[in-house]
């Protein structure tokens, strides 16, 4: 079994590959400190048995980021671009280690929280897919976190000189598509709601802090998108209830909506749903008896590595098409040219 320190190093490598040298340096320093029996061993002691899917390394990074955001770690903040810091990445770990010593009880408490990024960039996938559906849409999201992507029609998407969505939006996804999606219709969401085992309220201070803390602090564009989406959340309701996927969808799909296309959407969440519940949801969607579309962005093993695939499945036909490939955070999205056709 891979040790906690080895998982930290693997996560550090992934963070560097995905454009966050700061998070990579933090986790590399933390892994070395853990091997040496330093303060990190005290921070993570209650969480050594967490499964890899719980991403405990990112819990650790998010806990430190939250201290910075709450102005409790001013020296560490000098290294965090999220709050204007410009100090060298290579010098961050000794400062982070001192912060761990100074805030050990609080860090251990913060690590109990699950990671919830609610990545707004994934809306580039959802909006492009919704543009293939004619007429008004009822949007249901499983694993919605704070429900930010439920508001995807209130964001702006640039494609060269073209702007889709809301051109006045504070959220602008600049050229998120490698090639234009085969959009045929305007996106009209008339109802939006979601579920999550641990929903966050993006209109509260705690909810906003939690979401921001899990965005890697040196990825300023992601942080800007998040902050814009939080502003939109304050004026565009999108209720997210504390419920599992099967409970939520069983109830919602029992409510027919005439002349509206129901869309079930989930992104990078299916791996966290128990296999029995996944199978039950699959059966539910197949037997609803009314037209609906399922859109997903989930990792798949392809040729020995993981890729993030976008699929659409139309019911009751069960026709499934590969719409696009993307990254875990969304852009860049590469569309295959396939369309959603019931």
Q: What is the pLDDT of residues 83-129, one digit of tens each?
A: 999 999 999 999 999 999 999 999 999 999 988 888 999 999 999 99
Q: How far is residue 47 CA from its own chain's centroid?
A: 22
Residue 2 is predicted with a pLDDT of 63
- Residue 342 confidence (pLDDT) above 80: no
Residue 335 is predicted with a pLDDT of 97
Distances (CA, A) of 71 to 75, 99, 191: 10, 12, 38
In the chain the beta strands, taken as DSSP E runs, fall at 137-142, 156-159, 162-165, 172-173, 189-196, 240-242, 261-267, 292-302, 305-315, 319-327, 330-335
> What are 312's strand-pairing partners?
295, 321
Run of H or E including 56:
helix 56-69
Which has more pLDDT, 279 or 305?
Answer: 279
For residue 115, which of 46, 222, 216 has the smallest C-alpha distance? 216
What is the sign, positive or negative, of the torsion defined by CA atoms of 26, 54, 207, 137?
positive
Whose tokens are 């454009």? That residue is 19
């Amino acid at each position: 079994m891979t040790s906690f320190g080895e998982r930290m190093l693997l996560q550090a490598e992934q963070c560097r590959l995905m454009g966050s040298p700061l998070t990579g340096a933090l986790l590399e320093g933390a892994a070395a400190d853990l091997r040496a029996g330093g303060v990190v061993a005290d921070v993570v002691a209650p969480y050594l048995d967490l499964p890899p899917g719980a991403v405990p390394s990112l819990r650790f990074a998010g806990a430190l980021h939250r201290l910075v955001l709450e102005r409790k770690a001013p020296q560490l903040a000098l290294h965090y671009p999220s709050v204007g810091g410009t100090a060298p990445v290579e010098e961050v770990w000794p400062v982070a280690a001192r912060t761990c010593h100074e805030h050990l009880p609080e860090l251990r408490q913060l690590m109990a929280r699950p990671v919830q990024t609610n990545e707004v960039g994934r809306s580039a996938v959802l909006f492009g897919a919704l543009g293939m559906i004619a007429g008004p849409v009822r949007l249901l999201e499983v694993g919605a976190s704070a429900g930010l992507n439920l508001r995807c029609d209130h964001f702006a998407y640039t494609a060269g000189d073209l702007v889709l969505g809301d051109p006045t939006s504070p959220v602008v996804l600049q050229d998120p598509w490698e090639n234009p999606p085969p959009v045929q219709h305007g996106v009209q969401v008339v109802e939006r709601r979601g579920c999550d085992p641990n929903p966050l309220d993006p209109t509260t201070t705690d909810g906003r802090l939690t979401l921001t803390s899990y965005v890697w602090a040196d990825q300023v564009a992601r942080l800007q998108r998040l902050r814009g989406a939080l502003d939109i959340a304050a004026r565009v309701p999108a209720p997210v209830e504390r419920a599992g996927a099967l409970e939520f969808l069983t109830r919602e799909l029992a409510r027919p909506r005439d002349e509206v296309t129901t869309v079930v959407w989930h992104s990078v969440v299916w791996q966290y749903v128990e296999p029995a519940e996944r199978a039950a949801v699959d059966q539910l969607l197949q037997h609803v008896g009314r037209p609906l579309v399922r859109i997903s962005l989930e990792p798949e093993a392809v040729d020995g590595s993981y890729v993030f695939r976008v699929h659409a499945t139309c019911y009751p036909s069960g026709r499934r098409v590969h719409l696009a490939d993307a990254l875990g955070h969304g852009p860049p999205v590469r569309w295959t040219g396939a369309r959603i056709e019931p």
